[in-house]
Amino acid sequence: YSSLMIFRREIALWWHHFFLLWSTTDAQTRYSIPEELEKGSLVGNVARDLGLGLSDIFVRKLRVASEAGEQYFSVDAGRGELVVNDRIDREALCGQSASCLLPLQIVIENPLQLHRMEVEIKDVNDNAPTFLKSDHVIEIAESRVAGVRFPLEMAEDPDVGSNGLKTYTLSKDECFTLKVKEIENGRKIPELVLTKSLDREKKAVHSLFLTAVDGGNPVKSGTSKITINVLDINDNVPQFENAFYKVDVKENIANGSFVISTRAADVDEGPNGEIEYSLGVHTHPSVLELFYVDAASGDIYLKRQLDHETQSSYRIDISAKDKGFPKMEGHCTVQVDVIDVNDNAPEIILTSKSTSVPEDSSSGTVVALLSVRDLDSGDYGKVTLQLLKTSSFALKPSFSNNYALITNGPLDRESISDYSIEVTAKDSGTPPLLSTKTIPVSITDVNDNPPVFTQRSYNVYLKENGVPGSILFSVSASDLDSGENAKISYSILDSKVQDVSVSSYVYMNSENGSIYSMHSFDYEKLKVFEIHVQAKDQGSPSLSSNATVHVFILDQNDNAPAVIYPSSAALGSLSHQRMPRSAKAGHLVTKVTAVDADSGHNALISYRLAEATDASLFTVSLYTGEVRTKRAVSEQDDSSQRLILEIKDDGEPLQSATVTVSILLEDALHEPISELRHHKASEPSKKTGRITLYLILSLASVSVLSLLTFVILAVKCMRNSRSSGSCCCMRRSDSDDYKNPNRNLQIQLNTDGPIKYVEVLGGDMMSQSQSFRSCMSPMSEYSDFTLIKPSSTTDFKEVISVLDASLPDSTWTFESQQVILWRLPHIKALCISSLQRDLVPPPSCSPCLTNASTAKSWMRRCDDLHTFTENTKGKPI
């Protein structure tokens, strides 16, 4: 029971100081309820008083935060009512305080708000007055005169106001009456008054009943039995120098420290005058735990540490008894006031629970709600709050000792995803006391970073004729965001490759960025194309970025050389040629022309005489395909010679083709000079007539016509060279040449000064043009050219059929001093590629090379240069 009373008094003092700290702020809303209500009892409609709808209770997460620690109230989410959550004992909370207010904080989120309310707990008469002891014994000498007062034990009633202790009553006795003495703070002390002298011989023991009555309705009371033993003669009572002592003591004095000295005197002699000091029999247990008095000197000492915040004042009853018989006793009161020192550090209380904030929150967004308190009083209880080492957050005061933690600038989760904010509270004592609280704040991600590829563009080199479904390349992108905002999916943006959607060529794995081929590629049809890829995250709204993949198809030697002249050999038939027996060594018999659809080394063609009727009679130029006599023809040589020529490229693996040429040796064969033809395709009948006519004419007429032809041809070449650099050229518009984007061949028979040559042009819009020229003597049969419409490189039959009629027959020859020109396909391609890349073409890329062997060496240099240019990604050489 005594422990309960001590606890109640400590709680009462705590609440008393707590309300003093809050007295400067008026509550916006106050409810009043009696104590001891059942759980679930209605206090008030919070939602209605705060202007909230029932739906707001769930959406905004309305809840109650109690400053007292114990959660006595809760909110009925269905009706928005504040209800009792636990039994409320006013005496335990507020003790003897006249008013009992429970401060509440109503927290509402989205946006975060704080409302302060107070609940007044009204007292009900639920406690009866009680005495510490149910039986008390008082010894009174019979010599005591009437009017002497004996203080009795006070009753304790935890209730306050009208429900508290009101008065005392005493059972009837002829020698004693009861007087009630009122002291400060309204406390009442019962005193037993001797109204008539005692006579031990008549009555040695008096039994009385002291009743304490409260003012409640119904009235409650408590009773203590008082037994009075009448003693014989020691008729002088020890008297204190002062009936009341007062002393101020700091709460931090050490245990065992001296507090105050009391002195009493007894005029009796001997044992009746010897005084012994002690604490009064009615001393409260809390006082007994803190103080003791020296029995001989009356000095009071401290037993345990004092605490101003627990109790600020103590009243001590000191008794002085003599050693006579009966013992005489005197009393005095000592009041000890405890002086506050700065021994309590401020306490920081986190009111709200949410400590996360999106990274795109504007400045001033509320992150958390804080309050601070200090149990000390005066300046020791004045507290300032501040943040340490942060510029992204700030503290904003709301009302007394309450603060809001807000954002103070932009946040970036990718830079800092978590903050540990240190809040420091400092009081105004000397020296000041500090306390620190760390508030963790998590920055939640928003989708503010697009995926980023490792490169803006990629170069992929792929061999032609690959396996469909094989992986071409893998791109990779990263996203600085997290969660769904960082999940990346890959896709191919729609674009055209040769007027066909790029998705017909490749497809992409959306999860890992791998690109796969849908079919094999042919370098001769497609040399380079672009794939535009996109990386998109899963945020809302989603962000994306693009990159370009340049795919370069690498040539493989998958095409064998194709013979385009002689046309009959190209079509699979035997080529028949005529040669006079008067031919000397070096006589040009015929010229075999072949092309290879590949490029680079794979397109470099060489000629070899595989078989011959008489191998000593003929030789074949390795790079031009010219068939010449090695010696003069003799009469012993067979009139019919058969040659098999092997045509090989320079690729790996090697590809080859063969052509069979039948040569008929004739006596006195002459070379008639044919008239120039400008439009062979439209005048086939004239050609036949002219040839017949020239065969009949005499050698003189042939010479005249040859001279006339030479003059006319020279004039035409001089005129056309000023504009196009080509003699006797029929021009076609660029749009006609490139209507077909596929790789095609165009064959031209041109004149360049004294040289006649056949040019084979091939290529599409995306590939570099290729050129093949076969140069002829002006003494050849034709001096103009024929332009063949584009056709596939793999089908030369149509080309050959037209070309056959345009090229010279077996009667034309080359003079030994004439220069044969052969333009290698890749050299011209390299020159065009250099110009397209804004590079200076190397000197090796001259339009015509004067020597076939030199052409091969320059071809290798140009091919290496082309590869170097690709590897350096177009940087100027």
CA distance 634 to 616: 12
Residue 577 CB partners (closer than 8 Å, separation 6+): 566, 589, 590, 661, 662, 663, 664, 810
pLDDT at 606 over 70: yes
* 433 and 519 housed in the same domain: no
CA distance 493 to 410: 35
What CA–CA distances, in Å, run from 591 to 561, 575, 718, 756, 796?
A: 15, 11, 28, 13, 18
* 422 and 493 housed in the same domain: no
**Token pair listed for 68:** 């007292």
Taking residue 783's Cβ as centre, other Cβ atoms within 10 Å add up to 25
Single residue among 199, 231, 263 that ends a domain in this structure: 231
Question: What angle (nearest 5°) sits at the alpha carbon of residue 661, between those of residues 853 and 589?
Answer: 60
**Token pair listed for 829:** 């391609």
Of 398, 399, 371, the C-alpha closest to 385 is 371
Contact 792/850 with Cβ under 8 angstroms? no
* 138 and 115 housed in the same domain: no
Of 728, 788, 403, the C-alpha closest to 595 is 788
Residue 417 CB partners (closer than 8 Å, separation 6+): 442, 443, 482
Question: What angle (nearest 5°) sits at the alpha carbon of residue 597, between those of residues 596 and 601?
Answer: 65
Contact 334/300 with Cβ under 8 angstroms? yes
Global pTM? 0.49
Residue 699 inside a domain? The answer is no
Residue 628: per-residue pLDDT:
94
pLDDT tens profile 658-672:
999 999 988 865 444
CA distance 524 to 556: 10
| Range 226-233 average pLDDT | 85
Contact 482/468 with Cβ under 8 angstroms? no
Residue 173 inside a domain? The answer is yes
CA distance 34 to 42: 11
Phi then psi for residue 590, to 5 deg, are -160, 175
pLDDT at 109 over 60: yes
Residue 545 inside a domain? The answer is yes
CA distance 375 to 378: 10
pLDDT at 138 over 80: yes
* 409 and 464 housed in the same domain: no
Starting at the edge strand found earlier in the chain, the sheet holding 744-752 runs: 744-752, 755-763, 770-776
* 590 and 655 housed in the same domain: yes
Residue 93: per-residue pLDDT:
81
* 134 and 227 housed in the same domain: yes
CATH number (domain holding residue 412): 2.60.40.60
Alpha helices by DSSP H, 466-571: 567-570
**Token pair listed for 649:** 């490229």
CA distance 194 to 148: 5
pLDDT tens profile 531-576:
999 999 999 899 999 999 999 999 888 888 998 888 766 666 678 8
Residue 375: per-residue pLDDT:
86
Q: How large a percentage of the chain has pLDDT more than 70?
A: 74
CA distance 828 to 820: 17
Residue 254 inside a domain? The answer is yes
Give 717 or 619, the one with higher predicted confidence. 619
| Range 233-259 average pLDDT | 90
Number of structural domains in the chain: 6
The whole domain housing 302 covers 239-339
**Token pair listed for 481:** 């965001």
pLDDT tens profile 349-376:
888 876 789 988 898 888 888 889 888 8
CA distance 433 to 419: 25
Inter-axis angle of helices 852-871 and 825-836, nearest 10: 40
Single residue among 554, 575, 592 that ends a domain in this structure: 554
Of 447, 665, 652, the C-alpha closest to 536 is 447
| Range 752-773 average pLDDT | 40
DSSP-assigned beta bridge partners for residue 422? 388, 438
**Token pair listed for 305:** 């540490």
Residue labelled with tokens 């202790």 = 165
Taking residue 368's Cβ as centre, other Cβ atoms within 10 Å add up to 23
Of 204, 199, 233, the C-alpha closest to 137 is 204
* 243 and 330 housed in the same domain: yes
Residue 46: per-residue pLDDT:
87
Residue 610 inside a domain? The answer is yes
| Range 445-468 average pLDDT | 92
Residue 278: per-residue pLDDT:
94
Residue 570: per-residue pLDDT:
60
Residue 551: per-residue pLDDT:
94
CA distance 491 to 483: 20
Residue 752 inside a domain? The answer is no
> Cα(first)–Cα(last) distance of the chain, in Å?
104
Residue 682: per-residue pLDDT:
40
Confidence band (pLDDT; 50, 70, 90) for 222? very high
Single residue among 61, 91, 122 that ends a domain in this structure: 122
pLDDT tens profile 258-311:
999 999 998 877 888 899 999 998 888 889 999 999 999 999 999 999 998 888
* 352 and 331 housed in the same domain: no
pLDDT tens profile 794-821:
343 443 343 343 333 433 333 332 333 3
Confidence band (pLDDT; 50, 70, 90) for 721? low
Contact 231/200 with Cβ under 8 angstroms? yes
* 457 and 534 housed in the same domain: yes
Of 429, 348, 428, the C-alpha closest to 388 is 348
Q: Is the peptide bond before 285 cis (omega within 30 degrees of 0)?
A: no
| Range 626-643 average pLDDT | 90
Residue 722: per-residue pLDDT:
56
pLDDT at 1 over 70: no
Residue 829 inside a domain? The answer is no
Kind of pairing between the strands at 471-474 and 514-517 = antiparallel
Number of separate helices (H) and strands (E) present in the chain: 12, 54
CA distance 278 to 317: 9
Residue 56: per-residue pLDDT:
81
Residue 478: per-residue pLDDT:
94
* 396 and 462 housed in the same domain: no
Contact 560/656 with Cβ under 8 angstroms? yes
Residue 738: per-residue pLDDT:
34
* 215 and 257 housed in the same domain: no
Instruction: Round the average pLDDT of the chain to a whole number and report it.
Output: 77
* 328 and 351 housed in the same domain: no
Of 446, 634, 454, the C-alpha closest to 535 is 454
Residue 637 inside a domain? The answer is yes
pLDDT tens profile 491-510:
999 999 988 999 999 999 99
Give 301 or 679, the one with higher predicted confidence. 301
Residue 695: per-residue pLDDT:
65
